[in-house]
Homo-oligomer: A and B are copies of this chain.
Amino acid sequence: MAGQGRPKLGAQRTVTLKDVAALAGVTPMTVSNVLNRRSGQVSAETEAKVNAAVERLGYRPHAVARRLRSGRRNAIGMLVLDDVPAFLSDPFTNQVISGLSNIAASQGYTLLLQGVRYGNFEDAPLLAQLEADGVCALLSGTPQQRRSLLQRLMKLDLPLVLVQENIVAPGVCTIRQDDRGGAVEIARHVLARGARRIMMLLPAEEWPAMNEREAGVSAVCAAAGARLEIVRCGDEGLADTQAALAVAVSAAGLPDAIIGGNDRMALAALNWLAAQRVPVPDRVRVTGFNAFDFAAYSTPTLTTVRSAAYEMGMRAAEELLLAFRTGSFSAPDIVLPVGFQPALSS
């Protein structure tokens, strides 16, 4: 089959900056100003003319050379540490990246995306060669693994934004959502509906956001004298969650409410309760966390907390762009609000 579908790799590229300038009726310096995003120096009308000429002629400036001269790479690196091959499947992850990508693109920045498996040392050279002006990272794994990756990232000596972490380190900006506040609201909601025995579903592995959610629920239950049992659900997938729930219920009986550490575990619980013919919410109230699309598809629809994932991605890009311009972030630790989203499961 070789020879079919041959890319035109050898085609000539003859269009120059001067051609673009001539077609747009401006000077080459003006074209350069537009291409280098010094748009304060040209009118919107001129910019549109130049862009139209670039588009019409198919002009591709030698951006590598241009960036070498400017010392800027005009790129943001996005690193996702996850041991799952499909590292973009998690709605939280892909919404953060969508938000970041959209802001970056709107400011003429390229997004360099890389999934990193923990302990994959072959990634080290690629990380070291990352051609970005700054980096946003989503860590995962044990606290020790996170610290180790953070140290490696700090060696890059670039502005660094961590999403959903609460580490204080020089040159690092953390952007989190108010997981504790959301959890407080969820816990108050089920207590107000009369629940006194609560089970909270959490993954086996601890991480900052889950710890915050646990702390919020725990504080509300303690203050109200309600009983809280933490159920560790392995990898938080369907099988692990349902198995852990079955063991917990067989030992302690059905609770009045099941608070999922996230929607995924809550949906697994809803599913398991349906199979056991336990009425929801009449017998057991169920809630999730991080309302993504599929919360609306469950029967009954899932009470949950709307995540700020997309907004955190946008804010991460904005903070990096600010650091590129001014040398500093607006704050070392930024917390964005979440929204309580009641539905029929509670």
Q: Give the number of times this chain occurs in the complex, counting copies.
A: 2
Pair A129/B328 contact, Cβ less than 8 Å: no
Number of interface residues of A (CB under 8 A): 97
Pair B112/A110 contact, Cβ less than 8 Å: yes
Please report the C-alpha to C-alpha distance between residue A198 and residue B164 in the assembled complex, in whole angstroms: 47
How many whole Å from A99's CB to the nearest CB in chain B?
A: 8
Among B54, B91, B113, B296, point to the contact of A89 (Cβ < 8 A).
Answer: B91
State whether the Cβ of A46 lies closer than 8 Å to any Cβ in chain B: no
With A115-B102, A328-B4 as known contacts, state yes or no: A64 contacts B64, CB within 8 Å: yes
Scan A307-342; emit 1 where CB is below 8 A from any B CB, else 0. 000100000000000010011111111000000000
Pair A122/B110 contact, Cβ less than 8 Å: no
Scan A19-49; emit 1 where CB is below 8 A from any B CB, else 0. 0000000000000001100000000000000
Pair A329/B115 contact, Cβ less than 8 Å: no
State whether the Cβ of A255 lies closer than 8 Å to any Cβ in chain B: no
State whether the Cβ of A252 lies closer than 8 Å to any Cβ in chain B: no
State whether the Cβ of A250 lies closer than 8 Å to any Cβ in chain B: no
State whether the Cβ of A206 lies closer than 8 Å to any Cβ in chain B: no
Across-interface contacts of A64 in B (CB, < 8 A): 64, 67-68, 73, 131
Across-interface contacts of A34 in B (CB, < 8 A): 125
Across-interface contacts of A171 in B (CB, < 8 A): 5-8
Across-interface contacts of A68 in B (CB, < 8 A): 64-65, 68
